[in-house]
Structure 1
Amino acid sequence: MTHQPDTTLPTPVWDLFVRLFHWLLAASILFAWWSGEQGGNWMTWHMRAGYTVLGLILFRLGWGLVGTHYARFKEFIRGPKQTLGYGMKMLRREEHQHAGHNPLGGWMVLVLLLLSAAQAGTGLFANDEIFTEGPLVHLVSYDLSVEITRWHKLIFDGLLIAIGLHLLGVIWHQRLRGEKLIQAMLHGRKPLPEGTTGAGPTPWVRGLLLALGSAALIWALVNLL
């Protein structure tokens, strides 16, 4: 069990935008998988879930640049040396708790974002060779669309592996190291040493404008091209 400092305070780490993104992305991917398995009329909802994933990813990329302290990529994307060092300490159960994402967790966030974007993005050009086609299928040849559909399925397998590794990491830190990761992603706070930098005030107007802009761009991509 991770030794907790003598004095800890519930410190704001994850702003509401980060938390909503996290749970909406998980729900959208789960629903996209389920609706895709059902087929038929559910494919319309499958595609809508894919559009939602793309909008969420676009928002998170922007929020990683202009969001609160721990939401920014520069705060949690570390170099190879730091990441490897953290991984070695983790194997020895000597890693220390990070307020935001730890180095391995930071890279996993990036991998999940990229795979989710690739999965939803290829869906725009995919077709099931029966009656369902992505909204941008007319921009590529039929043969290329079939090949992209194959990538769409293969990328999902990779996404499932990444999600599984992510869940194992959460279980490791939650159950074996005593870090309240799940609770923090619900209410936004972590018990951290007194004086630890918090997330800071949430720029609500910036976040709302970014969310609206992301949704508008995805709508335009799907409906105007």
Structure 2
Amino acid sequence: MSSSSVRVWDIFTRLFHWLLVAAIGVAWWSGEQGGEWMSWHLRAGYLVLGLVIFRVIWGFAGSHYARFGQFLRSPASTLGYLKNMLKGRDDAHLGHNPAGGWGVIVLLLLCAVQAGTGLFANDDIFTEGPLAYLVGYDLSIEITRWHKLMFNALLAMIALHVLAVVYHQRFRKEAIVQAMITGKKPVAGELAGVTVNRSREWLLGSTAVLISAAAVWGLISL
């Protein structure tokens, strides 16, 4: 059979992915350093929040494979996929597979909780979130405790995500990482990609970015 490549991930989805990786990495490292590095911790948190807002918008207005409606499946379908995967009979998917689709949602929720609680957090020494004054000292300290605990859950989900990528990349021979860099996946046969209006995609993506940035700016300026 002949092979070709299909455009799966648009530039905005790819930038979202790698910027989120970088933002979480900077937030983690700067948080561990503390002190003056906490200003970078806050900036990274704002970026995470903005990226989450963007991805929610893009999940409805984005390109075909980025939309929630394309990759979210019913619990029964997802369970069936997982059973087939354990038997080595899971089908390949151009976009997110059913399990990966729900993984995206869980990661987005955890990132939203992490960035959201950070807005109200208070380390009781040097730094406090821009909205900490809205909840008072005692509640701010409690939110800070949850902010730290939930990061462990986020790390666990990230580890699961990495393991899934290794499984598909190494054992299923799917070009997962390459596709998130180039946007394209190799496919067998004459399967054609979804037709895309690139100018409209850039307009929608740019608008989503501006809305997300404005939303974060509005929140931290309350």
TM-score (ref. length: structure 1): 0.95
Aligned residues: 219
What is the match of residue 195 of structure 1?
191
- Decide whether the 8 Å contact of 1:13 with 1:70 is kept in 2: yes
Shift of 1:213: 1.3
User: Residue 50 of structure 2 aligns to which amino acid in structure 1?
Assistant: G
Q: Distance in 1 between matches of 2:217 and 2:18?
A: 21
Q: Secondary structure at the match of 1:170?
A: helix
Q: Distance in 1 between matches of 2:206 and 2:196?
A: 17
Matched, 1:217 2:212: no
Matched, 1:93 2:88: yes
Shift of 1:197: 3.7
User: Residue 210 of structure 2 aligns to which amino acid in structure 1?
Assistant: L
- Map 1:175-190 → 2, pairs under 5 A: 175-190=170-185
Matched, 1:77 2:83: no
Q: Distance in 1 between matches of 2:218 and 2:139?
A: 23
- Decide whether the 8 Å contact of 1:68 with 1:201 is kept in 2: no
Query: Which stretch of structure 1 is more off in the superposition, 188-197 or 30-39?
Result: 188-197
What is the match of residue 121 of structure 2?
126
Q: Distance in 1 between matches of 2:119 and 2:21?
A: 20
Shift of 1:7: 2.8
CA-based RMSD of the aligned residues comes to 1.0
Q: 1:47 to 1:159 in 2, by over 3 A?
A: same
Matched, 1:57 2:52: yes
What is the match of residue 106 of structure 1?
101
* Uncovered stretches (5+) of structure 1, i.e. residues with no partner: 1-5
Pick from 193, 205, 208 the counterpart of residue 207 of structure 1: 205
Shift of 1:112: 0.4
Shift of 1:67: 0.4
Deviations 1:86-121 (A, max 9, x none): 001111111111010000000001000000010011
Matched, 1:155 2:150: yes
What is the match of residue 44 of structure 1?
39
Identity score, percent: 58
Deviations 1:32-81 (A, max 9, x none): 00001110111011000000000011000000000000000000010011
Matched, 1:23 2:18: yes
Shift of 1:196: 4.0
Shift of 1:199: 6.3
User: Residue 49 of structure 1 aligns to which amino acid in structure 2?
Assistant: A
- Decide whether the 8 Å contact of 1:21 with 1:60 is kept in 2: yes
User: Residue 220 of structure 1 aligns to which amino acid in structure 2?
Assistant: G
Q: Secondary structure at the match of 2:9?
A: coil
What is the match of residue 3 of structure 1?
none
* Uncovered stretches (5+) of structure 2, i.e. residues with no partner: none
Q: Distance in 2 between matches of 1:196 and 1:99?
A: 11
Q: Secondary structure at the match of 1:106?
A: helix
Q: Distance in 2 between matches of 1:144 and 1:199?
A: 50
